[in-house]
Amino acid sequence: MPNSKTNDDGGFLLTNPNHNSTIRENLELICGIYGYSKADSKTKTDRIVGDFSLYEIEKSKATTLSGGWGRRLSIAMALITEPKILFLDEPTLGLDVLARRELWRIIGKLKGKITIILTTHYLEEAEAFQIELRLMANGKLIAVGTSEELKNMAHADNFKDAFITLCDGGPIR
């Protein structure tokens, strides 16, 4: 049971796990920060190691992980406390195509289970996720809707053109 003084509503993608610690140690550290007992920390860590297919490398130091595995660890660390909201800022930035696909698979499994607030500059990723999108330009919210709705608003044939039109102040029906 988490410490009642800890606000556990939100999980954040940490960009820098402790590189001198193992994957398991990083996950247990987060549980400790949130006030979970050692027994609960072990149970939660065992679950998240399984959920993220980390068994084979759980004793590896975080410093040895590739970009994709490091990002997977960061998301696991954000999710171990079972937050209601997960904040992901550019989660696939710098990842190769296969690592990006795997990360989207993991994020996709969370769809409908928790609220995910995610930023990305990869339009194809935003469109493929089939969720409500919020487009921002110059720090201002300019449009809200699914990729199809945004294409209709902009009178565009594809999402890229819709994005450009809406960000440039184009038509909104």
Encoding tokens for residue 54? 């980390």
Rg of the chain in Å (alpha carbons): 18
Q: How confident is the model at residue 153 (pLDDT cuts 50, 70, 90)?
A: very high
pLDDT digit string, tens, across residues 21-73: 999 999 999 999 999 999 999 999 999 999 888 999 999 999 999 888 888 89
Q: On the CB side of 15, how many CA atoms lie within 13 Å of its CA?
A: 7
pLDDT at 8 (0 to 100): 55
pLDDT digit string, tens, across residues 89-105: 888 888 888 888 888 88
Domains of the chain: 10-121 (3.40.50.300), 125-173 (no CATH)
Contact 17, 74 (CB under 8 A): yes
Residue given tokens 């171990």 in the structure block: 80
pLDDT at 2 (0 to 100): 46
